[in-house]
């Protein structure tokens, strides 16, 4: 994801872990939290599939709980190739912001192992080796392992939402911070703020992770030429 990245699939699933009105965790309210809803794995290529994702992501009535939304939202808003998405997300809660902005892998270390039984390790897919040579880590058509990995991210998020409580007691603060984030992304269609941050992170990376970051930055820069009014267009 992110500027110059490519979203090929979207994963969607109903959760009962959080009350959509109060944003209070179900566990804190004493309600049962088990959820066995069937999820969706959507291929983001045809107009019909993109339309389904747009209807959900742009709806102010459907609250979406996600983990680390910035790069996915940038792609939803501004991806031009291989297909233009043009999805403007609303009613987003980046649950990551409720837990000190921890990455998912680190956050899962705080979930009792019995609640993660059956889920493969987060590190089972070697994203860095593929991204370092500018290739997709999960090429289409997805293998069964890759498809399960993609959907299992929903189950990982659900396990966190069911078993861990935000420090503030609800996800209201994370929702407010997510609204600020979306406003910032909408006001920066070329992602210049993200580009400055990526250049900062590049200086702190070493080895293959530095190469991955350099590839991401170059893809971002090249993507600017696809937009009208890119800062250096025609220079």
Retrieve residue 94's tokens: 């980046």
Q: Note the pLDDT of residue 160.
A: 93
Tell me the mean pLDDT in the region 87-103: 95
118 phi/psi in degrees, rounded to 5 = 90, -15
* Spatial distance between the Cα atoms of 87 and 110, rounded to a whole number of angstroms: 33
pLDDT value at 40 more than 70: yes
Q: Note the pLDDT of residue 231.
A: 40
Tell me the mean pLDDT in the region 41-69: 95
Tell me the mean pLDDT in the region 66-70: 96
- At residue 70's C-alpha, the angle toward residues 22 and 167, to 5°, is 40
Tell me the mean pLDDT in the region 7-14: 93
C-alpha dist (Å) from residue 50 to 7, 70, 188, 207? 11, 19, 23, 36
DSSP notation for 73-113: HHHHHH--SSS-------SEEEGGGGGTT--HHHHHTTS-G
pLDDT value at 233 more than 70: no
Q: Note the pLDDT of residue 96.
A: 96
Retrieve residue 229's tokens: 């009014």
Q: How confident is the model at residue 139 (pLDDT cuts 50, 70, 90)?
A: confident
How do residues 19-31 score in pLDDT, each as one tens digit? Answer: 988 999 986 544 4
Q: Note the pLDDT of residue 37.
A: 66
Q: Note the pLDDT of residue 228.
A: 58
Q: How confident is the model at residue 35 (pLDDT cuts 50, 70, 90)?
A: low
* Spatial distance between the Cα atoms of 185 and 179, rounded to a whole number of angstroms: 10
- At residue 14's C-alpha, the angle toward residues 8 and 19, to 5°, is 130
Half-sphere exposure of 196 (CA within 13 A, CB side): 4
Q: Note the pLDDT of residue 120.
A: 73
Contact 58, 39 (CB under 8 A): no
Q: Note the pLDDT of residue 36.
A: 56
β-pairing verdict for 9-12 and 40-43: antiparallel
Tell me the mean pLDDT in the region 157-168: 91
Tell me the mean pLDDT in the region 9-23: 92
Mean of the per-residue pLDDT values of the chain: 89
């Amino acid at each position: 994801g992110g500027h110059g990245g490519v979203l090929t699939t979207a994963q969607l699933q109903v959760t009962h872990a959080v009350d959509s009105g109060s944003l209070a965790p179900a566990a804190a309210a004493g309600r049962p939290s088990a959820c066995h809803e069937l999820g969706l794995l959507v291929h983001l290529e045809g107009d019909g599939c993109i339309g389904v994702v747009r209807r959900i992501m742009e709806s102010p009535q459907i609250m979406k709980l996600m983990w680390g939304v910035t790069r996915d939202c940038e792609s939803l808003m501004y991806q031009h190739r291989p297909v233009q998405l043009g999805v403007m997300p609303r009613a987003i809660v980046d649950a990551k912001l409720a837990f000190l902005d921890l990455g998912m892998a680190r956050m899962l270390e705080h979930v009792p192992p019995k609640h993660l039984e059956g889920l493969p390790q987060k590190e089972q897919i070697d994203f860095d080796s593929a991204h370092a040579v500018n290739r997709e880590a999960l090429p289409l058509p997805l293998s069964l392992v890759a498809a399960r990995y993609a959907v299992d991210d929903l189950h990982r998020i659900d396990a966190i939402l069911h078993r861990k409580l935000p420090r503030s007691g609800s996800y209201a603060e994370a929702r407010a911070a997510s609204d600020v984030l979306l406003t910032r992304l909408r006001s920066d269609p070329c992602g210049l703020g993200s580009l400055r941050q990526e250049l900062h992170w590049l200086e702190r990376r070493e080895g293959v992770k530095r190469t991955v970051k350099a590839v991401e930055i170059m893809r971002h820069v090249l993507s600017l030429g696809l937009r009208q009014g890119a800062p250096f267009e025609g220079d």
